[in-house]
Structure 1
Amino acid sequence: MTPTRIETKDKTNNPSRVAMVTGAGGAMGAAIARSLLAEGHRVVLADADRTALDAATASLGDGAYPILFDLSDSAQVKAACADVRERVGAVEILVNNAGVLSNHKLAETTPEEWRKIMAVNLDGPYHLSREWAPSMRERRWGRIINMCSVAMKTGGLTAGTAYTASKGALGGLTFSLARELAPHGVTVNAIAPAYVKTKMITEQLTEEQRQQTLKQIPVGRFCEPEEIAHAVVFLSSPLAGFITGELLDINGGLHLD
């Protein structure tokens, strides 16, 4: 699989920043992209699922630049980023949103599944951060926002071993990059959502699991994708420049610390 450029006509009027959102074909990624577009940014939509990416692009309209590539393949990431530089410009707001969920606990987690989940959930953000951090440093402005999970703090209530471990490692990457890049005007933060209304809830949990989970969430409902998007917009704004190395919990009171 090689990176595939998907052309769209740019009708925007010089938005202020270039953002990249991975997993843009999903409900949460599309909501984040939509909110960033509303702020006037140009948004690169990254996904490995052509059908989902086409649908998101059609719904978002002008200012969205879709590109199809596999996050877990470093060669594809490099080629895709070169394409983005040529076609849109250097990414200044990177939202590492893409993720693969597994509910398998240790005994059911095969080495192949472990590697697949780590490749997307951890290696992907590493590859993309490595691609875009240098130009952010040169500009002395940048935002990297990683999508972690409440699973990293709870040990995974319904999430499996590999997923939980991958999100914990992503939190560690967030802290490391935050300390490294802070002197250069680049902030690195993470969001730890719990039970957002995406396919992870609607398709990968049984109805019994959904009802049991709802009983544990003090606010009594699941999170809307737009609520995550609102937090991303704030963390990517100029007024969030003094916030770095932060892990923002959005879990309806499910986990308090």
Structure 2
Amino acid sequence: MTRHIALVTGVVGGIGAAIAKRLCQDRARVIVSDLPGAALDDAANRLGLPAIGADLGDPRAMTSMRDRIISAHGAPDILVNAAGGVRNQVGTPLEKVVPEEWHSIFAANVDASLYLAQAVVPAMRASGWGRIVTISSGTGLRPSLTGIHAYTASKHALVGLTKQLSLELGQHGITVNSIAPGFVLSNPATQRQWEAYGPYGQAELIRRIHTRKLGTPEDIAAAAFLTSEEAGWISGQILSVDGGVS
């Protein structure tokens, strides 16, 4: 059985870390990444996995990270990009949307996935096998409870990028899919959002979930089967993992 090499980004957050653990259980050799710093070092130590820090919004940093991974571990044939988020922003009225804040969220949620794909796809194409999974959101399919215009728009854009990459790369044995999580308490930002809803808002959110409970990062990681050998005819799909909200 081929032991695949997986790059998982965004491991400082709970979802990325859970996916990295799941891929290890599936016997992949996993390398993790996030912004350089103590948070990544701590996450990598907890996971017991090698880490390479990089600014995913910088295409040159992606090329450098890829080369370092190939030199130390071999070329990744699995990519799961769990990096992204709201960049500490909150919902604002349309008139107060600031261009710099708009673009910073697009850089985190869309640009990074493009640059990562550009970095790892050549080796996947050469080998005739690859799995790319983006982490979009229920927000990529409908309006966002965050009220952040850029977050909603960027996740919709990520869904479109996922489908376009699938069309382009499928003929080379590379599948491209996206996991669209529902509301999961996976990092400080989602914890703050949850607390901001208050008791009534929290009850209303849970009422809309068919299973009547919030998900966990491990629930999202279960969808990592999209990286498996068996998932070779699943591509261009947006898998909602949200307890039935969709």
Give unmatched runs, 5+ long, in structure 2.
none
Bigger proportion of residues as helix: 2
1:177-216 correspondence to structure 2 within 5 Å: 177-199=165-187, 200-205=189-194, 206-208=196-198, 209-216=201-208
Give unmatched runs, 5+ long, in structure 1.
1-13
**Which residue of structure 2 lines up, in the alignment, with residue 55 of structure 1?**
42
Deviation of 1:81 after TM superposition, in Å, equals 1.4
Aligned to 1:219, which of 203, 208, 211? 211
Contact kept, 8 Å, 1:144 with 1:187, in 2: the verdict is yes
The 1-side partners of 2:31 and 2:74 are apart by: 10
Aligned to 1:176, which of 151, 158, 164? 164
Deviations 1:81-130 (A, max 9, x none): 11111111111000011012244243332111111000111000000001
The one-letter code sitting in structure 2 at the alignment partner of 1:137 is: R
- The TM-score with structure 1 as length reference comes to 0.88
The 2-side partners of 1:210 and 1:21 are apart by: 31
- The TM-score with structure 2 as length reference comes to 0.92
The one-letter code sitting in structure 2 at the alignment partner of 1:138 is: A
**Which residue of structure 1 lines up, in the alignment, with residue 106 of structure 2?**
118
Identical amino acids, percent of aligned pairs = 38
**Which residue of structure 1 lines up, in the alignment, with residue 22 of structure 2?**
35
Greater shift, 174-183 or 73-82, is seen at 73-82
Distance verdict in 2 for CA 1:249–1:65, change over 3 Å: same
Contact kept, 8 Å, 1:15 with 1:40, in 2: the verdict is no
The 2-side partners of 1:72 and 1:107 are apart by: 26
Contact kept, 8 Å, 1:103 with 1:161, in 2: the verdict is no
Contact kept, 8 Å, 1:178 with 1:189, in 2: the verdict is yes
Partner-residue secondary structure (3-state), 2:8: strand
Greater shift, 36-45 or 96-105, is seen at 96-105
Aligned to 2:135, which of 147, 155, 158? 147
Instruction: Give the total of aligned pairs.
Output: 239
The 1-side partners of 2:238 and 2:76 are apart by: 22
The 1-side partners of 2:147 and 2:56 are apart by: 21
Deviation of 1:25 after TM superposition, in Å, equals 1.4
Contact kept, 8 Å, 1:196 with 1:222, in 2: the verdict is yes
